[in-house]
Each structure stands twice: as C-alpha cells, then as structure tokens.
Structure 1
Amino acid sequence: MGEVIWLPYCGTAPVPGELWSRWNLDPVLLFALTLGIAAFLRWGGADSARRRWFAAAMALLALLFISPFCAITSALFAARVTHHILLTALVAPLLVAACPARIRGGVALWVGLHAVVFWGWHAPPVYGWALSSDAGYWLMQLSLLGSAFALWNAIRIAPLPGAIAALLGTMVQMGLLGALITFAPAPLYAPHLLSTTAWGLTALEDQQLAGLIMWAPGAAVYLGAALLLLSRWFARERVAA
C-alpha cells in the first residue's frame, strides 16, 4: 500500500539490484541545469576560482538529482538526510563562492529562517507531503537550497564574530534535530516504513542512521567552518598586536 501511495519525484523506492539503472533524465531538470550553466558562463565572469567553485556545485547537483543517488533517497531516509546536508552545507556555500550576491537581512535573520525551513521539512507530515507530489518535492529542495544560500552569503559578509556565532548556532540546531530523530522510539516517516527492508534495515534503524548522519557529520561541517574562521580571527589579532 505504501509503495503505491508514495511516488516521490525520484521514483518508487529501488531495490539494490536495480539501483544503477535508475538515472534521472528528467528533461525539465536537465534543461534547468543547462540554463543555469549557460547563465553563469554568460554573466559569471572569467575568474578561474569562481568557475571551479561553480563546476564543483554543478557536479554535486548532478550527483544529487541525476545519478542513482536520487532514487535511493526514495528508499532510505538516511540517504534523504545525506542529500539535504550535501545540498545545504556543500552546494550552497560553493554557489556563494561562485556567485556572491547581496541579500537583504542580517546573519541572525538567516540563521533563524534557515533553521525554520530545515526543521519544517523534517516534520513528518510535511516531509510526507513533499514525497507525495513533484511540486512539494521541488518546493522542499529549492527552499532548503535558497535559505542555505542566503545564510552562507550572510556569513560571508558578516564580521568574524557574527559569522562564527551563526555557524555554531546552525551546528547546534542541526545537531539537536539529529538527536531528536536518533532517539525517537518509533519510526516517524511514513514514506520509508516499507522501503528499507530490501537494504537490510528496519525503518527505525534507517531513521536512527539518518539522525546520526545529521547529528555528527552534518553538524561537523558547520563546526569545521567556524573553526576555520576562528583561526583567521586569531591570526588577524596577532598581526594587529
């Protein structure tokens, strides 16, 4: 029954034997990515570093949305969480490095808004809706990426103390959400109740793995960025002294 109801954008949940045949060649998606690349080549400038950051972001987007990784997110909530972390903690800052922009609102505003977006899409009823329609799916993806882009852009232009605080605040909220998911006593996400068995996991084990991924490596990205900025701050203070 669940496999009939839950028809996410990436298709029905695959079994391991068919995974590598599940490439997503949606013409609308391919056109949108091609249009984005063309726009960057036309207006993104000739700076080689920015072109490398943009190429890395496009490669990650291809992994997330075109490769079989897209299909496995229909089966495993752990894969979906990994997808969201890569989108918000790697693709977004790469795009900021390639295409910096002036976005209204201070860093504190975007820390809060991104947290609301991130927690909102991981609320079980909202997540279930996102995996029930293509419109819901793309609203989830674009709002996660857009709020993360705005957050990383605000961090880029904020004073170092504010940027470090924003990164640590984001680390804490992500770690807290990951902990709540990890220690939930029962499966929360209906789309994955019947899709994990083929992968050797119960729905609860898959959910616990997802929470741990969010709690540890997901939060660690923001901690690492905060430590990098902190080292720059100390270096600047030593020079000033």
Structure 2
Amino acid sequence: MGEGIPYCGSGPLPDEIWGRWNGDPVLLGLLAAAGLLILLHPPGGVRRKACAAAAWAVLVLAFVSPLCALSSALFSARALHHLLLIAAAAPLIAAALPDAGPARRPGAGLLVATLAQTAALWLWHMPGPYAAALADGTLYWLMQATLLGSAVLFWSTLRTAAPAGAARLSALLAMVMQMGLLGALLTFVPAPLYAAHFATTLPWGLTPLEDQQLAGLVMWVPAALPYLAAALVPLAGWLAAAHRASPEPQG
C-alpha cells in the first residue's frame, strides 16, 4: 500500500465489505506454504495437529477475510482483529509447539513474557504509534508481529508453569487486569482518540467515540476471557482435588 493508506486498504462502506477479501500475493503465498507444511508435516499428536490447523484458520480470518478491510474503517474491528491474534491464534500456536517437558518454576521468564505482551498491547493502542502503523506498511507488520509474537511467548512460557501455581495464576491475573484497564480507558475517555477512523465510522452507524467505546468493551470483556479461563479451569480442578482429599466430617 502507498504511504498513508492502511495495509488492508481504505475503510469500506457497508455494501462493499463482502467484496473486500485481501488478495496480497505475498501474504497468500506465506499462508499457503504454512497450510501445506501443516498438512504434509503436521505436528505430532491429535491435539497439536488440531491446534496448528485452528491457528492457521484464525490467521486467515484475521488477515484475508473482510475483517482486515473492516479494521480500516472501525477501531472496534481492529480491537477484534488484535483479540484474534493474542487470545486465539497465539495460544493455539503455543499449544501446537513441541511439549516443553514437565511443569517447572518458570521464574523470571514468565515475568518477562507478561511484561512483553503488556508493553506491545499498550504501545500499539496509543494513538501515535497506532496512526503510524496504519500509515506505513512496515510498521503495520511490526505491530502485528510484536502483538502475535509477544502473545505466543506468553502462552508458551505459561505452559512451563505448574497449572495452579502462584506464578501462573499471578501472570494470568495481571493480564486480565491490564486488559480491563485498557478497555475501561477506551470506554470512558470522553473524546475519540484515533484520527484514522474519524471519517470512516459514520457509514456503519457509529460515531468515532461510539466506535472507540465499542472497542473498549471488546478489550474489557472478550479479550480477558481466555486468560480468565486459563486461570480458573486448573484452579477449579485443584480445589476439587483438595476437596476430595479432605476427610469427611464425622456424623
């Protein structure tokens, strides 16, 4: 794309959206190569194969489907796009990677991974860096790579932690809290912040501020759910096991 034009093109009108699939030959070639690699040399184990295929499908949805174009028009669609990367594709990619061995104390690695994902998320949702990424193709892909890469690092490092250990639960709680804080800021700030969408939201029935508030709600609730589930499911199992192991009260 040219200077100042988003990678996914200019924001589409509602009657154009279903014709706005991304036909970038480089992207399609990379996705096709990744798909063939998964098909011909799949990861071992049914679970890892399924996770790799699902991650590929999520990336196609994010970058090839009309969602890519819609994210040029609506900041809320961009929030959904980022959500697919960090909370869907990233944990699936991490789950498709080779097993890291038995659970251990992750130490500083999990802290670094948590800080890296938090830093990437907040950096690219600041108005200045966000506007720069939409105006320059190189920065656009840097945004996508750092968001996805830091999230894969987080989820893969998380796999090395004990399921109900303090480090794992603390990291997940930190992610839930910072997602909620970012979402709350976007929801309650009294003025629109993202100039790239000032002229593109009205055809979709939203003012720029309403679009931003919708993006905040996406970041506040749906984006936090995978992290919350990852914390609650093993914790619930641990509590159930502790309850079963406790002696029955005497009648």
CA distances 1:25-58 after superposition (whole Å, capped 9, x unpaired): 1110011112223344455434222111111111
Map 1:154-165 → 2, pairs under 5 A: 154-159=157-162, 160-161=164-165, 162-165=167-170
Map 1:36-75 → 2, pairs under 5 A: 36-41=34-39, 43-75=41-73
Question: Within 1, Cα distance between the matches of 2:173 and 2:158?
Answer: 11
Question: Quick one: structure 1 residues 87 and 13, their matched pair in 2 at CA, closer, same or farther if it must change by over 3 Å?
Answer: same
Aligned: 1:199 with 2:204: yes
Cα pair 1:61 1:91 within 8 Å, conserved: yes
Q: Greater helix share, 1 or 2?
A: 1
Selected match of 1:110 from 99, 113, 116? 113
After the TM superposition, which of the residue ranges 5-14 and 34-43 deviates more from structure 2?
34-43
Tell me the TM-score normalised to structure 2 length.
0.88
Selected match of 1:208 from 193, 210, 213? 213
User: Which residue does the alignment assign to 1:18?
Assistant: 16
Aligned: 1:221 with 2:219: no
Question: Within 2, Cα distance between the matches of 1:5 and 1:191?
Answer: 13
Cα pair 1:193 1:203 within 8 Å, conserved: yes
Question: Within 2, Cα distance between the matches of 1:92 and 1:46?
Answer: 19
User: Which residue does the alignment assign to 1:188?
Assistant: 193
Selected match of 1:91 from 84, 89, 104? 89
Percent of matched pairs sharing the same residue: 48
User: Which residue does the alignment assign to 1:232?
Assistant: 237
Offset, 1:218: 1.3
Larger Rg: 2
User: Which residue does the alignment assign to 1:124?
Assistant: 127
Query: What SS does the corresponding residue of 2:9 show, helix, strand or coil?
Result: coil
Question: Within 2, Cα distance between the matches of 1:79 and 1:104?
Answer: 36
The number of residue pairs the alignment matches comes to 238
Tell me the TM-score normalised to structure 1 length.
0.92
Query: Where does structure 1 differ by over 3 angstroms across 4 or more consecutive aligned residues?
Result: 38-46, 100-105, 235-241
Aligned: 1:166 with 2:160: no
Offset, 1:233: 2.4
Question: Quick one: structure 1 residues 240 and 111, their matched pair in 2 at CA, closer, same or farther if it must change by over 3 Å?
Answer: farther
The root-mean-square deviation of aligned C-alpha atoms, in Å, is 2.0
Question: Within 2, Cα distance between the matches of 1:36 and 1:61?
Answer: 11
Aligned: 1:153 with 2:156: yes
